[in-house]
Amino acid sequence: MKVTHLYHSGCLVELDNHLLLFDYYQGELHLNQERPLYVFVSHRHYDHYNPNIFKIHHPQITYILSNTLRHKYDAYYVDIHQTYQIDDLSISTLLSTDEGCAFLVHVENQTIYHAGDLHWWHWEGEPEQDNIYQKQTYLQEICSIKEPVDLACVVVDIRQEKDYLLGLNAFLRHVPTKYILPIHYFGHYETTKLLLQEHLDNPYHAQILPVTHQNQTFEILV
């Protein structure tokens, strides 16, 4: 498997027979024209959805879009807490704690998770009931993942300051995962240095992919 961090939460996953593009916002796209391309959009926020995805030139392209987007494109529109069979992909959706959905994709005997904006968004100064909702909903959603994950794209947002690892630590505790690709960086690549110095609650020994720049590709064994 190859995974490319494009920018922010956008990533491209290259498998033997499939290409999966998640939440494209910015970055260079180099697409194998011989493998079918599946384009996922978790919600309509500008940093997760770029309308230019509909200008991608590829002979075999399928769009899987959150139903928070306008239904004006030739695409599969997905709701939360559903499972869809699209070609040979099995796609389950989780409820985001912000807007739209997260994706859990089963294909080629591998499982890929992309959070979108599903995260433990704890903010100092927000009403306590909001922070309680964030915690309870996030834990409920990630605990619904009952199988090991090969690659998980998980929100790590340094804007949360001392609370920026709440979501990642909870995910690591509850979901056996081989590789973590941190997302939602907004270009703050110094986050990776901080992250790798932290003592993570990582009982399954997931490997953190050290994202340091835009359009960075990792080859991983799953």
Q: Map out the domains of the chain with their CATH numbers.
A: 2-219 (3.60.15.10)
**Residues 171 and 148 sit within 8 Å (Cβ to Cβ):** no
pLDDT surpassing 90 at residue 108: yes
Q: How confident is the model at residue 70 (pLDDT cuts 50, 70, 90)?
A: confident
| Cα–Cα distance for residue pair 123/92, rounded to 1 Å | 28
Phi-psi region of 186 (alpha: psi -120 to 50; beta: other; left: phi over 0): left
Closest of 89, 114, 124, 82 to residue 18, by C-alpha: 89
Segment 74-83 mean pLDDT: 98
Q: Give tens-digit pLDDT for 152-176.
A: 999 999 999 999 999 999 999 999 9
Q: Give tens-digit pLDDT for 187-211.
A: 999 999 999 999 999 999 999 999 9
What is the DSSP code (8-state) at residue 42? Answer: -
